[in-house]
Chain A
Amino acid sequence: MKVRVAVVGLGKMGLSHLSMVRVHPNVEIVAICDTSKILLSIMEKQTGIACYSDVHQMMKETKPDAVVIATPSRHHESLVRLALESNAHVFCEKPFSLNWAASNELASLAESKGLINQVGYHYRFVAAFREMKRLLDLGANGTVSHVLAEAYGPVVLRPKGKSWRTKKEEGGGCLYDYAAHPINLLSWFFGTPSAVSGTVMSTVFSDDTDDEVYGTMLFGKGPSAQISVNWSDESYRKMTVKITAWGTAGKLYADRQEFHAFLRNESPQIDGYTKGWNLRYTTDLTDPVWFYVRGEEYSAQLDYFIQCIVAGKRENVNSFASAAETDHVLALMIEDATQGRVTSGVPTAVPPVRKKSFFRG
């Protein structure tokens, strides 16, 4: 069976998805859509794929079975709705939408229509995080009391750059771009947080958006969690997400490449794991993919989406509903960041106003 797929939004993520999904054995690409005429002219000449600048026209004329949406975040909501109303299965880039109430509504719409719905939180397809999820579910490190969820990388390293990613109202900023990933993993591991507090969203270089996000989360009777995210950290060569979970029976740690488990039990009763330190490499845990461009997880999540369609499988590890939960948490953090704090009386430092000068426009 060939799934007829259209890709909307040909930025970095859209082109990356297109390159993987086009050569998937169960996929036929029927159309691509973007607003950049110059890009479409290149794509049309070089790939021969039907190109559209009007998404309504594309949906009407090509009637795709599934749509991959990778536009700037603020367009997700309307495009996902359009695709669902056209009875297409949808893979949407993260964050799902900038309005969590709308995210929930779209999740219900997709479910009511029986359409496969998935959001591109690709860390759920990284073998080390999957192994962490497996061990947490097995209770390998006992009752988890605290979690540290981190993400660092070199995205904004100087006060410049203009794209939708630098505009707050378009879903730019470190919270939606970076922090969304570890927060989404926390929900996968521990469910929806019952409360957020102490959220700090501050700027390092950007004029309009946050470059750092810190905060606390509570998971009901479960663990507390600390979030630490900074996309202005050049000491990392590329984006790095790490989760550490302390429990009564040990500590678990995962990043993209490694999974570590320190287990206190004499015989942990988990295949291949022993008391003390255990180390697993993603390279050993990862299943092969049909096509590799930039990491197995990107290929694997698209394959999963396509296989769900082919098999008519309704449960999705990255469903709209799960991504809506993350959107909700992000909204709570924004709200919390503007709340009053317990104060000491010492005046809060006000960030210096950047003065215009001959040297800095």
Chain B
Amino acid sequence: MDRLLFGDNQFFGVNHMSEEKARAQSLRFRDIQAIYEVLDAAYEEGVKTFMCTTHDRVEEICDRVRMHPDKYPDYQFFPCMPYAHKYANAATEEGIIGAIRRFSPEEGFLSAAIRGGVSLASKDIDGIVRLLIDAEMKMFHNVKTPVIFLQNVVVDFVLGLGMTQTFKVFADHVRSRYNAEPGFITMNLPMLVPELLRLGIENPIVCSNINKIGFRMCGGFKAYEETLRDYKFRAIAMSVYASGSIPADEAIQWVCTQPNVESIVFGASSRTNIRSTKALVDKYWSEATAKNSNV
């Protein structure tokens, strides 16, 4: 994995702090050309991995990369699925099963099961999970997707319900069908990591908020520190600036010294920001590496 991954919240009107900022971003990136410009700037600055939701607009970005293989030889996507809003809205309209049915490519099978009132066998449930993954992955055909993530709202929902065999189904399918590493985004790192290991998912990639002030690090700062130190997994840090609460320099310096953190995912809307973030990461990560190798 690259040290620095480019996130997509800024492109799709998501801002955890302010709806006004979200709206301004949404306006700025209304034209997909504006998104291309920022992605190109990131690529030129050496940030070549786009960690993105399976939002409809990402399909256009995939098309562009497919059409210009010479321009983006090293470009790779880390898809994060599903784009949860479409499921949530469908669930409000049609219930949970209705929502799954709407997005399931083999709608007929599930509809028949519901009409017949039959109970589903575990293998059927696993089959539905695989079909939903395949539906989300369609837009990424013929582009590189070395890591495929399950979004935090799904990961944490499934973790809370205790239906964690689903993680294993996801991991196995992503490995066998897409030759990719499974990734998990979570707001509950200390609870998730031991569970993934218990399920036999080895050295899993887990992305979560990791920041100096403990912002949205559920289970507590100390539990995060212990998890990072004591378990064998590959961490990706997000929200390293804690929605702008920590100065960039201080935030990156701290993250780079944390054990097990392999990458940082960040969002930016300008080349200047991308360049300065890249410079900070290069500086502090090499410092941290040098320090570790001296020990």
Contacts and interface: CB of A to CB of B under 8 A. Distances in A.
B32 interface: no
Interface string B54-90: 0000000000000000000000000000000100110
B243 interface: yes
Interface in A229-253: 237-238, 240
Contact of A38 (B92, B94, B120, B191): B120
Interface size class on chain A is 35 or more
Nearest to B22: A237
A37 interface: yes
Given A42-B125, A258-B18, A293 B245 contact: no
A39 B18 contact: no
A38 B97 contact: yes
B243 A281 contact: yes
Nearest to A48: B162
Interface stretch (B175-183, B210-218, B263-271, B284-292): B210-218
A20 interface: yes
Interface stretch (B35-43, B111-119, B229-237): B111-119
Interface in A10-48: 10-12, 15-16, 18-20, 22-23, 36-43, 45-48
Nearest to B157: A19
Contacts of A155: 89, 92-93
B142 interface: no
Contacts of A284: 245
Contacts of A357: none
Nearest to B15: A257
Contacts of B159: 19, 23
Residue in B19, B92, B245 whose Cβ sees the most chain A Cβ within 10 Å: B92
B29 to A, nearest CB: 14
Contacts of A255: 19
B295 interface: no
A163 B98 contact: yes
A283 interface: yes
Contacts of B97: 36, 38-39
A155 B191 CA distance: 33
A293 B114 contact: no
Interface string B118-144: 111010010000000000000000000
A240 B160 contact: no
A240 B214 CA distance: 26
A16 B153 CA distance: 10
Contacts of B30: none
A11 B96 contact: yes
Interface centre among A19, A240, A255, A258 (most CB of B within 10 A): A19
A290 interface: yes
A255 B220 CA distance: 26
A293 B153 contact: yes
Interface residues of B, number: 50
Given A42-B120, A45-B122, A292-B218, A257 B16 contact: yes
A40 B88 CA distance: 20
Contacts of B157: 15-16, 19, 293-294
A195 interface: no
Contacts of A293: 153, 156-157, 160, 187
A10 B97 CA distance: 11
B272 interface: no
Nearest to A258: B18
B161 A257 contact: no
Interface string A278-293: 0001011000111111
Q: Indicate the member of B96, B114, B217 with the most A CB atoms within 10 Å.
A: B96
Contact of A18 (B85, B113, B160, B218): B160
Contacts of A290: 218-219
Interface string B220-253: 1000000000000000000000110100000000
B88 A12 contact: yes
A37 to B, nearest CB: 5
A220 B94 CA distance: 41
B125 A288 contact: no
Interface in B140-172: 153, 156-163, 165-166
A224 B1 CA distance: 58
Given A37-B119, A47-B162, A291-B156, A163 B16 contact: no
B93 A161 contact: yes
B16 A10 contact: no
Interface in B1-60: 13-14, 16-19, 22
Contacts of A154: 89
Nearest to A18: B161
Contacts of A38: 97, 113-114, 117-120
Given A38-B117, A257-B18, A283-B16, A20 B160 contact: yes
Interface of B: 13-14, 16-19, 22, 85, 88-89, 91-98, 113-114, 117-120, 122, 125, 153, 156-163, 165-166, 187-188, 191, 214-220, 242-243, 245
Given A11-B95, A36-B95, A291-B219, 5 more contacts: A12-B96, A19-B159, A22-B160, A46-B161, A294-B157
29 contacts: A11-B96, A12-B92, A12-B96, A15-B161, A16-B157, A19-B161, A23-B160, A23-B191, A36-B95, A37-B117, A38-B114, A38-B119, A41-B119, A46-B125, A46-B165, A47-B163, A48-B162, A161-B94, A163-B93, A166-B93, A238-B85, A257-B19, A283-B216, A284-B245, A291-B218, A292-B218, A293-B157, A293-B160, A293-B187
